[in-house]
């Protein structure tokens, strides 16, 4: 759908829904919110709903950064210590690489 | 594994090529003199690809009226559509071929089969193999026909909730289950350790955002990307679970079915189109890929509201089986709002059913899986694109829903078998004798 052709109130409501939806463990949704509404929020001339859209985009970006940090930390820990954890590591693993310890 | 019936049906509904709306405005407008409709007729018949390199008639058009500009735009946009459909079809095929070549899971033959192809092919006897593949094809096609008829009946009797629920279930399965399988196989191939929590996050995010983009509102590019991905996933499932010869016969049979169903007056898909036209509503989100393009058309004459209404009706008609609901609602809403103004924003694009993506990719994927080398794959790829070009040309001439499978699949099959049996031995013996041409 094209953002150009919908009225501002709908844009705001769409941005809000994407923001609220992202709380259900959906950082990807927050990413989409940031990328899609970035131009609307920051690069367009001001209109009434813009400050609110801007706040939603900023909050989505913040949430996204937090999630990325958490996931990166977990993935690093897992990949590094998986072999050492023995049984717990295997239990957590979906695929176990062959040929390594 | 057994795929659900919803899969068989939903990919069928997707086989059609539909023009978003009629491109030539002046011909519907009674205010213009007779010369213009004639010129527009010849313009329409001229192949879209050559529209760009004929400055003469275009200049003539430009000089006549403001609508001359629209003629020019029509030609350019016709050629642009071809490109805009090439890209997603190519992407889908690239994804499928890349997966086939790298992940061996999809080329390993298992004893598991789909319930739609119950006869197991015996590799030892040619006659029996042929017979069983024909029987498999008949079973599959009859399942498809039955599903399509059920769908048309449901649509006629306005059981929208049932249809929407069915579609949502089928895309749920595609987005979650098939992508889970796919990811698992990719990780195994590349020997990567993956833990359940991260995997759960990935699949959950991918699936939910996919459902949102396809069935509700989302950025156009993301929606197109998701549609390409689910077509590729579906094609991979077919490549894996259809027996060898059955797959080829099924491809041929389904393009014949597509031809009949879309063009015959009593064909189920055509009845679907006509019912939708009568009710003037878009149908079935998530079954069609739309290459939408927006540009501003300036119209200063007083016949604006008439042509706008005409176009609305045409769009309602041309939307055939599927429609990207959010986009169309927005498009129609925008047009109604702006029709009185001088600048009219129009959304034009060609819609291609997802079933077409799936079967094109199945053909190219099977060529990559069993064809031996890249010659065959590339030949099939080129053949399908040529077929798509021709189909779009016919679409520009006839301006109604057309089956997109027959021409491309026919070319693809011809190219596959001839390349495999004629060109490849030729190239091999040339290479063996070190004779370069």
Residue-wise pLDDT for B392-436, tens only, equals 888 888 888 889 899 999 999 999 999 888 887 888 888 888 887
pLDDT of residue B37: 34
Question: Read out DSSP for B198-247?
Answer: HHHHHHHHHHHHHHHHHHS---HHHHHHHHHHHHHHHHHHHHHHS-HHHH
Q: B181, B199, B209, B294: best mutation site toward chain A, by most A Cβ within 10 Å?
A: B209
Tokens 């010129």, residue located: B39
Q: For residues B282 and B92, give the distance between their C-alpha atoms in angstroms, rounded to a whole number.
A: 25
Cβ of B345 within 8 Å of Cβ of A4? The answer is yes
What does the alpha-carbon distance between residue B322 and residue B404 come to, in Å, rounded to a whole number?
14
Residue of A nearest to B335 (CA): A5
Minimum Cα–Cα distance from B195: chain A residue: A93
Q: Between vectors from CA B72 to CA B70 and to CA B77, what angle results, nearest 5°?
A: 90
Question: How far apart are the C-alpha atoms of B223 and A1, rounded to whole Å?
Answer: 9
CA distance linking residue B427 with residue B437, whole number of Å? 10
Q: In sequence order, what are the residues at sequence separation of 6 or more whose Cβ sits closer than 8 angstroms to the Cβ of residue B160? A: none
Q: Could you tell me which residues are beta bridge partners of residue B295? A: B346
Q: Which pLDDT band, with edges at 50, 70 and 90, does B179 fall under?
A: very high
Q: What is the arithmetic mean of pLDDT over B263-292?
A: 80
- B186 at interface of A, judged by CB pairs closer than 8 A: no
Asked if A97's CB is within 8 angstroms of B193's CB, the reply is: yes
Instruction: Spell out which residues of chain B touch residue A69, defining contact as CB-CB under 8 Å.
Output: none
**Partners of B92 in the β-ladder:** none
pLDDT in tens, B331-385: 333 333 333 333 444 556 778 888 999 999 999 999 999 866 888 999 999 999 9
Catalytic residue numbers of B read 258, 356
Give whichever of B5-14, B62-71, B105-114, B299-308 has the largest mean pLDDT: B105-114
Assess whether pLDDT exceeds 90 at residue B305.
no
Cα(B268)–Cα(B285) distance, integer angstroms: 18
Nearest to A79 among B184, B193, B223 (CB): B193
As given in the structure block, the two tokens for residue B302 are 């007083």
- B208 and chain A in contact, CB less than 8 A: yes
| Positions of E strands within B16-66 | 17-19
| 3-state SS class at B347 | strand
| Digit-coded pLDDT (tens) for B79-96 | 778 888 999 999 999 999
| pLDDT at position A50 over 60 | yes
CB contact under 8 A, B219 and A1: yes
Task: Give the whole-angstrom CA distance, residue A86 versus residue A88.
Answer: 6
Using DSSP, state whether B346 is helix, strand or coil: strand
How far, in Å, CA of B420 to CA of B423, rounded?
6
Which of B198, B205, B330 minimises the CB distance to A1? B330
Binning pLDDT at 50, 70 and 90, where does residue B265 land?
confident
CA distance B348 to chain A (A): 12
What radius of gyration do chain B's Cα atoms show? 23
- B19 DSSP β-pair partners: B350
| Cβ(A34)–Cβ(A57) below 8 Å | yes
Q: How confident is the model at residue B67 (pLDDT cuts 50, 70, 90)?
A: low
Q: DSSP label at B121?
A: P
- Are residues B212 and A25, on separate chains, in Cβ contact within 8 Å? no
Tell me which chain A residues have a C-beta less than 8 angstroms from the C-beta of B184: 94-95
Angle at A53 (CA atoms; ends A50, A55), nearest 5 degrees:
110
> Has residue A25 got a pLDDT over 70?
yes
Residue B283 is predicted with a pLDDT of: 62
SS3 B72: helix
Give the residue with greater pLDDT, B317 vs B17.
B17
How far apart are alpha carbons B158 and B277 in whole angstroms?
14
As a whole number of angstroms, the distance between CA B90 and CA B385 comes to 8
A1: which chain B residues are within 8 Å (Cβ-Cβ)?
217-220, 223, 324, 326-327, 330
Q: What tokens were used for B327? A: 């986009």
Position B34 confidence tier, pLDDT thresholds 50, 70, 90: very low
Where are chain B's structural domains? Answer: 66-433
Report whether pLDDT(B68) > 80.
no
User: Which range, of B185-189, B213-217, B218-222, B315-319, averages the lowest pLDDT?
Assistant: B315-319
Q: Nearest CB to A5: which of B204, B219, B334?
A: B334
Average pLDDT, integer, range B22-43: 36
How many other CB atoms sit within 10 Å of the CB of residue B37?
15
Structure-block tokens of residue A44: 């367009």
- Choose the closest CB to B198 out of A36, A74, A98: A74
Residue of A nearest to B337 (CA): A5
CB hemisphere CA count around B224 (13 angstroms): 21
For A7-16, b/e burial (b = at least 16 CB within 10 A) is eeeebbebbe
Q: In terms of C-beta density within 10 A (0-12 exposed, 13-18 middle, 19 or more buried), how is residue B42 classed?
A: exposed
First to last CA, chain B: 47
Task: Give me the pLDDT at residue B409, please.
Answer: 95
Please tell me which residue, B291 or B16, carries the higher pLDDT value. Answer: B291
B79 closest CA partner among B48, B41, B46: B48
Q: What is the pLDDT of residue B5?
A: 44
B105-130 per-position pLDDT tens digit: 888 887 777 878 888 887 788 888 89
A-B Cβ pairs (cutoff 8 Å, strict):
86
Q: 3-class SS at B195?
A: strand
> Which residues numbered 330-349 in B keep a CB inside 8 Å of some CB on A?
330-331, 333-334, 345, 347
Tell me the two tokens of residue B28.
């519907």
B187, B201, B333 member nearest A71 (Cβ): B201
Quote the pTM value.
Answer: 0.77
For the record, the structure tokens of B25 come out as 């405005």
Candidates B426, B87, B151; CA nearest to B284 is B151
**Which residue intervals of B345-404 are DSSP H helices?**
354-370, 374-398
- How confident is the model over B161-180, as a mean pLDDT? 91
For chain A, the farthest-separated pair of C-alpha atoms sits apart, in whole angstroms, at: 60
Q: What is the pLDDT of residue B314?
A: 34
pLDDT at B219: 92
- Mean pLDDT, chain B, as a whole number? 74
What residues have CB less than 8 Å from B80, skipping those under 6 apart? B293
Q: Return the percentage of chain B with pLDDT > 90, whole number.
A: 34
The DSSP-derived string for A2-60 is -GGGS-HHHHHHHHHHHHHHTTTT-HHHHHHHHHHHHIIIIISPP-TTHHHHHHHHHHH
pLDDT of B279 reads 84
User: What 8-state DSSP symbol labels residue B120?
Assistant: P
CB B232, CB B361: distance < 8 Å? yes
């Amino acid at each position: 759908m094209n953002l150009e052709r919908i009225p501002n109130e709908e844009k705001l409501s769409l941005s809000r829904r994407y923001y609220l939806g992202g709380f259900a463990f959906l950082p990807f949704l927050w990413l989409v919110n940031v990328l899609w509404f970035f131009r609307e929020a920051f690069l367009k001339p001001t209109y009434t709903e813009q400050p609110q859209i801007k706040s939603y985009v900023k909050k989505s970006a913040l949430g996204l950064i937090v999630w990325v940090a958490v996931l990166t930390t977990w993935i690093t820990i897992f990949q590094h210590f998986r072999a050492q954890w023995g049984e717990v590591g295997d239990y957590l693993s979906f695929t176990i690489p062959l040929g390594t310890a | 594994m057994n795929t659900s019936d919803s899969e068989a049906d939903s990919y069928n509904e997707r086989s059609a090529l539909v023009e978003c709306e009629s491109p030539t405005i002046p011909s519907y407008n009674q205010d213009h003199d007779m010369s213009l409709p004639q010129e527009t007729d010849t313009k329409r018949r001229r192949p879209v690809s050559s529209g760009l390199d004929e400055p003469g008639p275009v200049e003539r058009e430009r000089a006549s009226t403001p609508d001359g500009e629209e003629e020019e735009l029509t030609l350019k946009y016709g050629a642009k559509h071809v490109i805009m459909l090439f890209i997603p079809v190519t992407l889908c095929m690239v994804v499928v071929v890349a997966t086939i070549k790298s992940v061996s899971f999809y080329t390993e033959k298992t004893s598991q089969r789909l319930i739609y192809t119950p006869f197991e092919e015996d590799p030892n006897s040619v006659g029996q193999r042929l017979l069983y593949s024909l029987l498999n094809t008949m079973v599959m096609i009859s399942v498809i026909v039955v599903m399509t008829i059920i769908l048309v009946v449901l649509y006629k009797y306005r059981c929208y909730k049932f249809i929407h629920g069915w579609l949502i279930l089928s895309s749920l399965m595609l987005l979650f289950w098939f992508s889970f399988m796919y990811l698992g196989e990719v990780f195994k191939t590349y020997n990567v350790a993956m833990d359940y929590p991260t995997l759960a996050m990935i699949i959950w995010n991918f699936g939910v955002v996919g459902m949102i983009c396809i069935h509700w509102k989302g950025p156009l590019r993301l929606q197109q990307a998701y549609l390409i991905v689910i077509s590729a996933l579906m094609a991979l499932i077919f490549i894996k679970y259809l027996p060898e010869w059955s797959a080829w016969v099924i491809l041929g049979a389904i393009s014949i079915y597509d031809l009949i169903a879309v063009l015959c007056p009593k064909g189920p898909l055509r009845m679907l189109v006509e019912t939708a036209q009568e009710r003037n509503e878009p149908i079935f989100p998530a079954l069609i890929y739309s290459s939408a393009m927006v540009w501003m058309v300036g119209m200063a004459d007083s016949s604006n509201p008439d042509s706008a209404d005409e176009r609305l009706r045409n769009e309602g008609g041309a939307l055939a089986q599927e429609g990207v609901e959010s986009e169309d609602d927005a498009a129609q809403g925008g047009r109604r709002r702006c029709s009185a103004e001088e600048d009219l924003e129009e959304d034009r694009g060609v819609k291609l059913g997802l079933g077409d993506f799936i079967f094109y990719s199945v053909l190219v994927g099977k060529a990559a899986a069993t064809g031996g080398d890249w010659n065959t794959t590339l030949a099939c790829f080129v053949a399908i694109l040529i077929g798509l070009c021709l189909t779009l040309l016919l679409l520009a001439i006839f301006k109604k829903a057309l089956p997109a499978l027959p021409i491309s699949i026919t070319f693809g099959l011809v190219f596959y078998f001839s390349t495999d049996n004629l060109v490849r031995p030729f190239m091999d013996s040339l290479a063996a004798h070190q004779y370069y041409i």
